[in-house]
Each structure stands twice: as C-alpha cells, then as structure tokens.
Amino acid sequence: MGQGLNRVPAGLTVSVSVPATSANLGPGFDSMGLALDLRDEVSVTTRAEGFTAHVDGEGAGVVPTDGSHLVISTLRAHLRDRGWDVSGLALTAINRIPHGRGLGSSAAAHASAVLLADALLPEDERGSEAELLDAASQLEGHPDNVAPALAGGLTVSWDDDGRYRSAFIRPQASVRPVVAVPEQPLSTETARGLLPAQVPHHVAAANSGRAGLLVHALTQDPSLLLPGTRDWLHQDYREPAMPESVALVRGLREQGLAAVVSGAGPTVMVLAVGEEQAEAARSAMRALLAASAQSWRVSILPVDAVGAKVKAHRSGQPISG
C-alpha cells in the first residue's frame, strides 16, 4: 500500500457489464463508434489481501489470473490516481467479447476497470461521466471504442486540448448490425502499422464528407448507409493483414450491403436496415465465406442503447489508511 493513500475496506462488491463496440464504421476513423448487444460482465470484491482473477468465456486459460490481470491492474492505477488503493481483490468475469477481433474488448476492459474503481470510492469522490470517459480513453489511447462502451448507441468523439470528449447520438431503430467474426485474431498495432503517415488532401476531404453523410444515414435516412460507409483512409491499406476481411467487405458492398471492417479488424460488419436485410446480410456473409480456410461466426447483434452499467454495489464507507 502506497504511503499517504486511503484504503478501500474489505468486503465491498461491485459488478459492471460493458457492451462490445465497433469503431470507425467506415469513414469515421478514430472518432465514431457503435455499441453492440454483446456484453462482458465483471465483478470485484475487495478483501484483506491477495489478488485473484477467475475468467469464463473469451480469454479463459489465457489471460492472467493474478494482480497482473488488465482490469485489476488498471483498477488499482485509477484508484491510486484518486488517492486510494486496495489491499486485495477477487475478480470474476464472464467474457463474451472476442479478443483481438475489432469489437472493443480492450476498451471494455478499460471501461470496466475505471467504473469499478470509481464505484469503490466514497460517493462524494466519484468522477463525472466526462471524467470517466477521459480516464478510460487515456488508458485505451483513443475514445472511439470507449465512448460507445460507456454511453451506448452511436458516439462521435474528439480530443479537446488533451482531454477526450464525446457526443451521444441515437441511431435509427431500424439499423441492425450483422457481424462476421473470424477465428484468427489481429492485433490493433499490426493493423495500425500499415497505415500511411499522410494522405492527399482530396482523400481527406472525401472521407470527411462521407463521415458526415454516415451520421445522417444512421440517424435520419438509413437508405444512404451504403455511400455513407465508404472509406478511403484505412480499410484498403490494411488488406495485407486481413485479405479475407477486405475481400468480404468488397463482396458484400457489391451486393448493395453497407459493409465495413469493424475497428482495426478482422471482424466485418454490415449496417443492415430492418430484419429482412439483416437476414439477407447474414446469408450473404455465409455464402461468401463458404470456402474460407478458417471458421467464422456470423450473427446479428442489435445496437446496444444502454451502455456500461454498474449492476450491483454492496456499500460500505471507505476508511483512511
């Protein structure tokens, strides 16, 4: 326990659930994100000593089971930033968000850690929504996944002089995301490393126009989702790292479906309109992937309008250490 830090007492339990997210959505590179109805659930109980993690689902048997677990280490770092620490912690998690697939698993972990830490603090020391967004985004490195994970729905985020901010936008109820998740993961660093340092002015202008159109399509006129999801900034550059994914996007778009690479990939997402088109997109994905050498999970994931929530908190008054 660091000198001068307050101590959170043993016996407090906090649980949170955080949705998966899809960032970029085509032209909204590093700024736009959408929450999806697929959730990780994490619970922590403070104790007198020792740090343990028990994980079921995605990452089970792979992620650390001690204090080096990402949520535990991040939770403690956030507490220390606020002048607190814990002597011990038992974490249990049910992970449903695939790791390394472009569905925001890292952002969900960072958001979970910040929310859990904040809920362990005395009520008068907890952060505002804006402060929690900035804290989790700083940990993640950017807000495009964190913002929809926290707020739900569609978000547009930006850097405001070193602090991350976000605007929540409610998408049309008819929008039905459909995802194809491949068996093999891809690291964000690998995907980002393929991007050029600069792009021509006309490319940036074209992408900017489509990003604006995408917001209109998602909120007002979903019939414009196909042109609204056209991207020139990142997807084609990443083809060497995920050729099947980029080929799938092209094949789906040729059929009139608004397909994009989800986040840094390799998951592919179609922003379908209504149940009928969502089913058609699912069938088209399966047909185009029939000859793939790896397995793909294809499913319809509704937009999550709720965002991250603290589900339970057995309260007690933290004491000074």
At 4 the pLDDT is 81
State the binding site for ATP: 98-108
Burial of 194 (0-12, 13-18, 19+ CB in 10 A): middle
Maximum Cα interatomic distance, the chain, rounded to a whole number of Å: 63
Question: CA-to-CA distance for 8 and 180, rounded, in angstroms?
Answer: 42
Encode pLDDT of 295-309 as tens digits.
999 999 999 999 999
Averaged over 201-211, what is the pLDDT?
A: 95
Entry pTM? 0.93
Closest to 147 (Cα-Cα) out of 180, 176, 116, 110: 110
Helix (H) or strand (E) holding 246: helix 243-254
Q: Is residue 217 very low, low, confident or very high in pLDDT (cuts 50, 70, 90)?
A: very high
Report residue 94 CA to chain centroid gap: 16
What crossing angle do the helices spanning 70-81 and 129-140 adopt, rounded to 10°? 130
Q: Is the pLDDT of residue 267 over 70?
A: yes
Buried residues in 237-265 as b, exposed as e (16+ CB within 10 A): bbbebbebbbebbebbbeeebbbbbbbbb
Encode pLDDT of 108-147 as tens digits.
999 999 999 999 999 999 999 999 999 999 999 999 999 9
State the binding site: 98-108
Give me the domains of the chain, ranges plus CATH numbers: 6-169 (3.30.230.10), 175-300 (3.30.70.890)
At 83 the pLDDT is 95
